Structure 1
Amino acid sequence: MTDTSIGTPEQLRDPDYTPPLHKAIPLGIQHVLAMFVSNVTPAIIIAGAAGFGFGSNSPDFPELLYLIQMSMLFAGVATLLQTITLGPVGAGLPIVQGTSFAFLPIMIPLVAGKGVDGLAALFTGVIMGGLFHTLIGTFIGKIRFALPPLVTGLVVTMIGLALVRVGIQYAAGGVPAIGTPEYGSLLNWSAALVVIAVTLGLKFFTRGMLAVSAVLIGLIVGYVYALGVGILTVEAITSSWNRSAAFALPQPFKYGFEFSVAAIVGFCLMAFVSAIETVGDVSGITKGGAGREATDTEIQGATYADGLGTAIAGVFGGFPNTSFSQNVGLIAMTGVMSRHVVTCGAIFLIISGLVPKVGGVIRTVPIEVLGGGVIVMFGMVVAAGVSMLSDVDWNRRNMVIFAVSLSIGLGLQLEPGAVQYLPEWARVLMVSGLLPAAFIAIILNLVLPEHLSDEATEEVSGGMAGRRQPEGIPLETPRH
């Protein structure tokens, strides 16, 4: 509900309006709380995929801490590019940037089991993909025709489907625990289920900030539960806190620079998806907060900020950034369109990113507890994709496009050995499932004619297509 004590209705719809500081700061922190968990989760997932140890005494502890730190720091930097703007870069709107889930299916195969050695190629891909993403800003309006809801909905659904396995693995005890007696134990699952139960309870039975921060609060309750049942110990928290510095600056090219065809091609192709997602978020912000359509300048500036923010993050060991959809909903809920409110949140993120002790606390969240939150978040990604697909006209043409794309993409995810003889760079792209599915859907959507025969375009009901009976020919008697 709109709080008119912050300003007049006209002021609240103005992106340039600055509310009183004592109200702008809490509103900005509210934006951070809404996106905080989603923002740092990809760093933890990539660390797990690379094989980093999660214990505070692990030699990989500083690396995990650094990845979390960079996720916070450069989400704040990218958000500032959107709100303050830098020449043509930035929309000048209250857009909150954060680490993108969309790139995870590309990043996980790049680092799988390679430890720190896999990060050089990954972050080189982030830089190149970010620069390409910036270039997309110059022609973003001209490529939207190639990405209708059939394509974007499929891609978003595939992103979620590629990641749901991670949530289950985490809830059962984490990837390093696979094959051990503890993996899948009732104790591990109980922590994840507590998080899920609290999250769903808050989402459906509360309003306002409690509902917006449901996942975060669910994780906090799960954290306390894990401490109570012995999954987490006070000693582990103390050790992590003591081993974390009070202040640290980012290091350029900390993991080196390594060209990888798979990484560069993968990140550049995914940049299209991220760019279209940002277009949707910008439109959602202007409609929900100001009751108008986004201008071409705003969309172009937002895309520039997306790409430049990602490229800068990659230089220092940060992951690709994109606009966060949950914050679009928060703007519609509060009715506060001020970009300066989001600037306050960006400053809070930057400060958090410069204080490794914040990352040290986040790192102590047990993997089982994180699994509960991840199950909800990735399930919502799938649901968002299905929601986008609801706008599709499900005739036979579109069903064939969806069926072929999904079958090949999901099939390659489930059976990566099917492309074992491809060059490594091509294999990495194919087993993600996401890129082949998107590529096939885009090509088929552009090539197949929009208007087929009456039979081919007949509407579908219940997933089965009926037959149009030619005139003069009686229907066959059903066989039993």
Structure 2
Amino acid sequence: MTDTSIGSPAELRDPNYTPPLAQAIPLGIQHVLAMFVSNVTPAIIVAGAAGFGFGSNSPDFPQMLYMIQMSMFFAGIATLFQTIGLGPVGARLPIVQGTSFAFIPIMIPLVAGKGVEAMSVLMGGILVGGLFHFCLGFFIGKIRFALPPLVTGLVVTMIGLALVKVGIQYAAGGVPAIGTEEYGSLQNWTVAMVVVVVTLALKFFTRGMIAVSAVLLGLIAGYIVAMLFGMVNFGNVGRAATLALPNPMHFGLEFSAAAIIGFCAMGFVSAVETVGDTSGITKGGAGREATDKEISGATFADGLGTAIAGLFGALPNTSFSQNVGLIAMTGVMSRHVVTIGAIFLIVCGLIPKVGAIISTVPIEVLGGGVIVMFGMVVASGISILSDVAWSRRNMVIFAIALSLGLGLQLEPGALQHMPGTMKILLTSGILPAALIAIILNLVLPAELSAESTEEVSGGMS
């Protein structure tokens, strides 16, 4: 999709270059299309886990609409922090921010079945976690040694594994439908599979903006099929307001140890992801390494965007990796192109009818989309792990961290006697796996003796 008529090669590699508006606006909207579904999905998942409900009869349904709106609005605000900057905040690079999937395994146990009352605890954790994330910007470059691909790849893989169950539940009819006759019906799976098949077809057999927007177009195809089955209700769209502003302290703030520890720990993971995305953008778009100032600025923007989002009832923000690949594909490094996309997101976030339209998407359609997206998270983790030198030492670290992390996630009842805070943190699977991998990577000698790993390797020979 690189178009040399947009500018010279030197201009295309310059973050400060602004292409003509006729090209800049479509390029900016393309960035929004690449991340739009992934950006609003966490709000729907968390609202559903809390029990807000997906139908217009649910008393908490307006709260889900608000969370969808704020996902768009604060993704735009956080993106502006990155592209335009505010003092030391922002990398001044074309980094797209959005609501992070990484925090979902932490958020679901905090709100599961507790309704809107639980959201204040969530927002307190998001605020403190965002401030902690911001502070990481002062020294993030100095602690990267503790986070080799073995650790980061494991964490990303664990995030994906923690989410795949949600995708299957949604495709089958959603958590509220579990145990009913409708759950897992042929109709539900037909709608979900239309999304998967169309997404794959467009991703691999088309190019350009269509390929980039494959998930979005797959959801539209599933949505059309759902309409034919009579599964779509537009009742809320007409009743939605034309304009609504963000509401400070919308859910209130309440501080709990579990939420604060969880969000601070995942903020650390998110900061590492942002460092990787920043480096990917400068390498893919400009053929150079990211500077320390760019990395710290990107981390500052990540944390500040998350903290402000928490004050207004929105979820944590992080850099979006899919947009890194988009920059490498288009060859346009302009941060002003992404600024246009950010403005588009902000405008959408101020119009409740946009959120109302999104809320009409049946859960089965969303399930098809998240099966693809969450699977890609796992695949991304495996891709990172492919850079690991698989010595016996690294195999032992990975094996122990994965076994304990995934095991606790699959069998939370094993921790029934633990205090509530510890139980929430450990059953996420991600935090224990990350902590074990980091500690073992730092304390184990560079090479374990052959005898110390004989039992591990013996069964594989």
TM-score range (shorter-chain normalised) is over 0.9
Q: Number of residues paired by the alignment?
A: 460
Q: For residue 453 of structure 1, report the CA deviation from its aligned partner.
A: 2.5
Contact 1:157 1:383 in 2 (8 A): yes
CA deviation map 1:8-67 (0-9, x unaligned): 111110000011112111110000000000000000000111011111232112101000
- Greater CA radius of gyration, 1 or 2? 1
Tell me, in whole angstroms, the C-alpha distance in 2 between the residues paired with 1:317 and 1:362: 18
- Alpha-carbon distance between aligned partners in 1 of 2:206 and 2:22, rounded to the nearest angstrom: 25
1:421 equivalent in structure 2: 417
1:172 correspondence with 2:168? no
1:197 matched to which residue of 2? 197
- Aligned 1:376-415 pairs, distance under 5 A: 376-415=372-411
Deviations along 1:200-250, one digit per CA (max 9) or x if unpaired, are 001111111111100000000100110012222xxx21x111121110011
Which among 326, 337, 341 is matched to residue 337 of structure 2?
341
Contact kept? 2:121, 2:254, Cα under 8 Å: yes
Unaligned runs of 5+ residues in structure 2 are none
8 A Cα contact 1:451 1:457, kept in partner:
no
Match of 1:469 in 2: none
CA drift of 1:456 comes to: 5.4
Q: Which residue of 2 aligns with 1:252?
A: 248
Q: Distance in 1 between matches of 2:238 and 2:135?
A: 43
What residue number does 2:347 align with? Answer: 351
Aligned in 2, Cα 1:307/1:137: closer, same or farther, shift over 3 Å? same
* 1:432-472 per-position Cα deviation (integer Å, ceiling 9, x unaligned): 111011111111111110123255589x99x9554xxxxxx
Match of 2:20 in 1: 20
Give, in whole Å, the separation in 2 of the partners of 1:282 and 1:86. Answer: 17
Write the mapping of 1:46-61 to structure 2, written as runs, cut at 5 A.
Answer: 46-61=46-61
> What residue number does 1:286 align with?
282
- Residues 271-307 of structure 1 show CA distances to partners (whole Å, capped at 9, x for unaligned) of 1110110011011100111111100000000000000
For residues 57 and 344 of structure 1, the distance between their equivalents in structure 2, rounded to whole angstroms, comes to 37
1:36 and 2:32 equivalent?
no
Residue 236 of structure 2: aligned partner? 240
**Does residue 300 of the first structure (1) align with residue 296 of the second (2)?**
yes
Aligned to 1:452: 448
Flag structure 1 segments of 5+ consecutive residues without an equivalent: 467-480
Secondary structure of the corresponding residue to residue 98 of structure 1: strand
Separation (CA, whole Å) in 2 of partners of 1:288 and 1:455 = 43
Q: Distance in 1 between matches of 2:450 and 2:109?
A: 44
Cα distance in structure 2, aligned partners of 1:457 and 1:142: 32
Q: 2 CA distance for matches of 1:148 and 1:20?
A: 41
Deviations 1:242-269 (A, max 9, x none): 1211100111111111111000000001
Q: Map of 1:352-367 to 2, 5 A cutoff? A: 352-367=348-363
Letter in 2 for 1:254: H
**Paired position in structure 2 for 1:226:** 226
Q: Which amino acid aligns with 2:262?
A: G
Preserved CA contact (<8 Å) 2:77 2:305: yes
Q: Which one-letter code corresponds to 1:325 in the other structure?
A: S
Q: Is the 8 A contact 2:392 2:448 kept in 1?
A: no
Q: What amino acid sits opposite 1:46 in the alignment?
A: V
- Are the counterparts in 2 of residues 173 and 182 from structure 1 also a CA contact under 8 Å? yes
Q: Does 1:11 align with 2:11?
A: yes
**What stretches of structure 1 move > 2 A for 4+ residues in a row?**
451-458, 463-466
CA distance in 2, matches of 1:456, 1:418: 29
CA contact (8 A) 1:397 1:456 kept: no
Cα distance, 1:397 vs structure 2? 1.2
TM-score of the superposition, structure 2-length normalised?
Answer: 0.98
Q: CA RMSD in A?
A: 1.3
In structure 2, the residue matched to 1:102 is: 102
Shift of residue 425, structure 1, vs aligned partner: 1.1
User: Does the CA contact (< 8 Å) of 1:154 and 1:402 recur in 2?
Assistant: yes
Q: Give the fraction of aligned pairs with identical amino acids, expressed as a percent.
A: 76
Question: In structure 1, what is the Cα distance between the partners aligned to 2:418 and 2:122?
Answer: 20
Equivalent AA in structure 2 for residue 225 of structure 1: V
Q: Specify the alignment match of 2:126 in structure 1.
A: 126
Counterpart of 1:472 in structure 2 is none
AA matched with 1:90 = G
Quick one: distance in 2 between partners of 1:377 and 1:222?
15
